[in-house]
């Protein structure tokens, strides 16, 4: 664990690490020397030659001064390293998250990532600044005392050398039990954090269906699970800690017994025995302290493992060779992809979207339509084949170059807890206010701003909670309009909107798509019918392709799909007959 902690120290502070460790070890050695010198000092004070005690007091005072000076130095260095480490780790974790594939974030809890970046980093900072010195002292001081006792009484020294490994072994077993419990507590805490956030964000839905209080089963189960994990840790870790404490006290009793036995059956005086008992207590003290710090230390070790695990996640391979994209085309060449090995989602997909044209992708749910769009934006790398944007393989383009060509409008719109105008400006941060408002007007966001209490400066809430689905979608389209990218990836999301919102969003989509290369997962019949090319996808394969008229004439799967949609579009509720 210590090796892993040291590997996380930033290079800027790594030069301080040898001095820090040297100060910690030197302080522990000074402590051990001061404890061992208690024997001749106490022996002289309780014996007949009290004046001889002063000969031992001087080196003992030097050792005590060394403990104080080195303690101050190691505390100062530990704090500097810990604080610098906290800032650096959070920056490194942020940079690491920026290099991971976008698909890595799908299905991962934001609460879990927040826990690692905030809570775990803070815990590791405390581990370095405060606990690491005590851990090292807990090993060096007892070892130093045992070595020093070889020059006083070898039997006492042997007792110490036998006791220390036994105690460390028991402590190690307790550590493994605690680590197992801590992982369960961490998982339970993440689950409960996630449910609490959901509980806060989804109040309208929860209240509408009466899922509040005890009836919110998911939240109640998560909180119950967290309590159960803590209780299990108590019943797992506390007994081992209790056993360790008993063994520590037993070791002290054995040391006291050996000292007394040397008085009654050996050459040691009663004064020497008292001195040895006092030194024995100093030998035991760091071990007891290690047991008391064990819970915090093992929790810190688990935090270190989670941070190291996140930093070790394989980054998306990034091309460093500049690429100048050509015409805004999109091409798939025998592409296959699966989220899991042996379970393909797409197989042998090949098609081209010429610049300035629209290709609609239709098919049943689960056929791989949205996955196809995500692969263009390189959420994941393909298993086989290649995808080209602007005439170049997406894997050979720097991320900035690739994403600079794409505007993605998805079903899941996320708005930041900022103002309306700031949320639109995300599309192009260097845009002027006039450019932002022009894009907003094209998406009819100006109508939204007029209704809001603070207009364009109204904060929309976390995830855009204060806006309707249609209003959030309009802001998303305004972002894409502001970016003005040549290729538009559109996962059309109008099916859940009311007729007015749908009409407004559709007009914004038409404005966004004008003159652009569009790849759209289509649901609306009008979007499908006016596409330059239609791909019917099912089971991860393209079963049919062509224009709307060509596919209707063929009378295949697409024709069936179109007829079903047409019938559904004309479906309406009729009043029940009376009488």
pLDDT of the residue at 468: 82
Instruction: Pull the structure tokens for residue 91.
Output: 């920056």
Please give, one letter per residue, the 3-state secondary structure of 247-259. HHHHHHHHHHHHH
- Unique residue bearing structure tokens 């976008």: 102
pLDDT at residue 353 tops 80: yes
Over residues 443-453, mean pLDDT? 87
Beta bridge partners of 333: 386
pLDDT digits (tens, 9 = 90+) for 177-186: 555 555 666 5
**pLDDT of the residue at 350:** 95
Mean pLDDT of the chain: 79
Phi/psi for 519 (5° steps) reads: -120, 110
Question: Is 70 exceeded by the pLDDT of residue 29?
Answer: yes
Question: pLDDT band at residue 579, thresholds of 50, 70 and 90?
Answer: very low
Determine the Cα–Cα distance for residues 362 and 356; give it in Å rounded to an integer. Answer: 20
Residues of the chain with CATH 3.40.50.300: 330-569
Phi, psi (degrees; rounded to nearest 5) at 521: -80, 105
Smallest Cα–Cα separation from 110: which of 183, 181, 191, 186?
Answer: 191
Query: How many CB atoms neighbour CB 98 within 10 A?
Result: 10
pLDDT value of position 189: 63
CATH number of the domain located at residue range(s) 330-569 in this protein = 3.40.50.300
Q: Which residue has the higher pLDDT, 1 or 554?
A: 554
- Is there a contact between 111 and 194 (Cβ–Cβ < 8 Å)? yes
pLDDT value of residue 65 = 93
CA angle 274, 279, 281 (to 5 degrees): 100
CA distance 407 to 377: 9
How much is the average pLDDT of 26-55? Answer: 78
Using 50, 70 and 90 to split pLDDT, how confident is the model at 497? low
pLDDT score of 274: 66
φ/ψ of 192, rounded to 5, equals -70, -40
**Per-residue pLDDT at 331:** 95
- Cα distances from 380 to residues 65, 113, 285, 339, in angstroms, run 60, 20, 55, 9
- Reading the block at residue 27, the tokens are 């302080």
Summarize pLDDT for 143-183 with one digit per residue, the tens: 887 787 777 777 777 777 777 777 766 666 666 655 555 56
Task: Return the beta strands (E) in 211-342 as ranges.
Answer: 330-337
CATH 1.20.1560.10 residue spans of the chain = 2-311
Q: For residues 479-511, b (16+ Cβ closer than 10 Å) or e, as one string?
A: bbbbbebbbbbbbbbbeebeeebbebbbebbeb
Determine the pLDDT at residue 259: 65
CATH fold label, 2-311:
ABC transporter transmembrane region fold (1.20.1560)
Q: What is the pLDDT of residue 26?
A: 93
Using the 8-state DSSP alphabet, how is residue 512 labeled?
H
Spatial distance between the Cα atoms of 42 and 274, rounded to a whole number of angstroms: 8
| Helices 53-99 and 17-46, axial angle in degrees (round to 10) | 160
Please tell me the predicted confidence (pLDDT) of residue 572: 47
Closest C-alpha among 553, 551, 482, 496 to residue 524: 496
Q: Once rounded to an integer, what is the mean pLDDT over residues 509-515?
A: 80
């Amino acid at each position: 664990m210590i090796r892993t902690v040291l590997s996380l120290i930033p290079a800027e502070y790594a030069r301080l690490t040898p001095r820090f460790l040297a100060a910690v070890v030197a302080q522990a050695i000074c402590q051990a020397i001061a404890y061992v010198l208690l024997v001749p000092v106490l022996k002289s004070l309780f014996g007949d030659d009290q004046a001889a005690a002063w000969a031992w007091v001087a080196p003992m005072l030097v050792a005590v001064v060394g403990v104080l000076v080195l303690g101050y130095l190691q505390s100062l260095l530990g704090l500097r390293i810990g604080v610098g480490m906290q800032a650096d780790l959070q920056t490194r974790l942020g940079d690491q998250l920026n290099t991971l594939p976008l698909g890595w974030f799908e299905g991962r809890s934001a609460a879990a990532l927040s826990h690692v970046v905030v809570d775990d980093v803070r815990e590791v900072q405390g581990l370095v600044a405060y606990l690491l010195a005590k851990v090292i002292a807990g090993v060096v001081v007892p070892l130093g005392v045992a070595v020093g006792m070889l020059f006083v009484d070898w039997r006492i020294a042997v007792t110490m050398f036998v006791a220390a490994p036994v105690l460390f072994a028991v402590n190690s077993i307790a550590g493994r039990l605690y680590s197992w419990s801590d992982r369960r507590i961490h998982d339970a805490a993440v689950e409960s954090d996630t449910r609490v956030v959901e509980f806060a964000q989804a109040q309208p839905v929860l209240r509408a269906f009466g899922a509040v209080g005890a009836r919110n089963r998911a939240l109640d189960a998560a909180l119950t699970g967290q309590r159960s994990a803590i209780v299990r840790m108590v019943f797992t870790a506390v007994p081992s800690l209790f056993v360790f404490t008993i063994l520590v006290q037993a070791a002290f009793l054995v040391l006291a017994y050996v000292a007394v036995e040397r008085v009654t059956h050996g050459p040691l005086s009663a004064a020497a025995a008292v001195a040895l008992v006092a030194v024995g207590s100093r030998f035991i003290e760091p071990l007891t302290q290690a047991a008391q710090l064990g819970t915090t230390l093992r929790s810190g070790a688990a935090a270190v493992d989670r941070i190291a695990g996140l930093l070790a996640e394989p980054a998306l391979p990034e091309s460093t060779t500049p690429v100048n994209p050509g015409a805004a085309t999109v091409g798939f060449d025998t592409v296959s992809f699966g989220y899991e090995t042996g379970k393909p989602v797409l197989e042998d997909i090949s098609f081209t979207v010429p610049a300035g044209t629209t290709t609609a992708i239709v098919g049943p749910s689960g056929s791989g339509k949205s996955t196809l769009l995500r692969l263009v934006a390189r959420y994941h790398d393909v298993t086989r084949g290649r995808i080209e944007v602007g005439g170049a393989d997406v894997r050979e383009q720097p991320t900035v170059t690739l994403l600079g060509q794409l505007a993605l409008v998805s079903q899941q719109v996320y708005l930041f807890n900022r103002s309306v105008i700031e949320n639109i400006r995300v599309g192009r941060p260097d845009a002027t206010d006039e450019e932002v408002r022009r894009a907003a007007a094209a998406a009819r966001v100006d109508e939204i701003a007029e209704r809001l209490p603070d207009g364009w400066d109204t904060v929309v809430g976390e995830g855009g909670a204060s806006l309707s689905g249609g209003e959030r979608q309009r802001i998303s389209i305004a972002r894409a309009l502001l970016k003005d990218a040549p290729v538009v990836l559109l996962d059309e999301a109008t099916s859940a909107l009311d007729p007015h919102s749908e009409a407004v969003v559709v007009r914004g989509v038409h404005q966004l798509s004008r003159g652009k290369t569009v790849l759209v997962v289509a649901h609306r019949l009008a979007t499908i019918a006016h596409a330059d090319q239609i791909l019917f996808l099912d089971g991860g394969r393209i079963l049919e392709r062509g224009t709307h008229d060509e596919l209707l004439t063929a009378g295949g799967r697409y024709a069936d799909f179109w007829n079903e949609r047409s019938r559904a579009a004309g479906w309406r509720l009729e009043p029940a007959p009376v009488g």
